[in-house]
Amino acid sequence: MDRVTAQLASAEKALATLHEALAMPSSVVVRDASIQRFEYTYEVAWKTLKAYLADVEGVVAASPNQCFRDALRVGLVSPDDAERLLDLSRDRNLTSHTYVEAIAEQIARRLPAHAALLRHLLAALRDRVGTTV
């Protein structure tokens, strides 16, 4: 459980940096920084979920998408949230193509909703492990 609690703290800090970037005045540099912060927030969030599933639920999931499906299966997220997490995962996979202006703009427009969903996921994890980060 200590591993999950520590990862939750890291995920919360990463998410705070994403929110910080999203609050800045819009520019290409801020957009790109926000996408970069989304990438690392996503990475630490799904790895936190993976640790929770393994340590608390006894479920071994190898990929982000499998973690999101298993989170639904163990009742951590709703079916709607699980689908939204899979959409978020698709956007994360597209971030390697942000040199294409249209893709970068599409992802950037969805970042506030993605940040809210990640915040919701981390809150659900905190509730399950009984800690506040």
**CA dihedral defined by 79, 117, 86, 38, rounded to 10 degrees?**
-170
The sign of the torsion formed by the CA atoms of 57, 61, 82, 107 equals: positive
For the stretch 11-25, pLDDT in tens is 999 999 999 999 999
What's 78's DSSP letter?
Answer: -
Spatial distance between the Cα atoms of 86 and 71, rounded to a whole number of angstroms: 12
Reported confidence tier of residue 1, pLDDT bands at 50, 70, 90: low
Please give the CATH topology (third level) of the domain spanning 2-129.
Answer: Four Helix Bundle (Hemerythrin (Met), subunit A) (1.20.120)
For residue 38, which of 97, 110, 128, 101 has the smallest C-alpha distance? 110
pLDDT confidence bin for 132, thresholds 50/70/90: very low
106-116, pLDDT tens digit by residue?
Answer: 999 999 999 99
Q: Which of 60, 77, 91 is nearest to 124 (CA)?
A: 77
- The model's confidence at residue 133, banded by pLDDT at 50, 70 and 90, is very low
Query: Does pLDDT of 131 surpass 80?
Result: no
Q: How far apart are the first and last CA of the chain?
A: 14
Q: Residues 67-107: pLDDT tens digits? A: 999 999 999 999 999 999 999 999 999 998 777 889 999 99
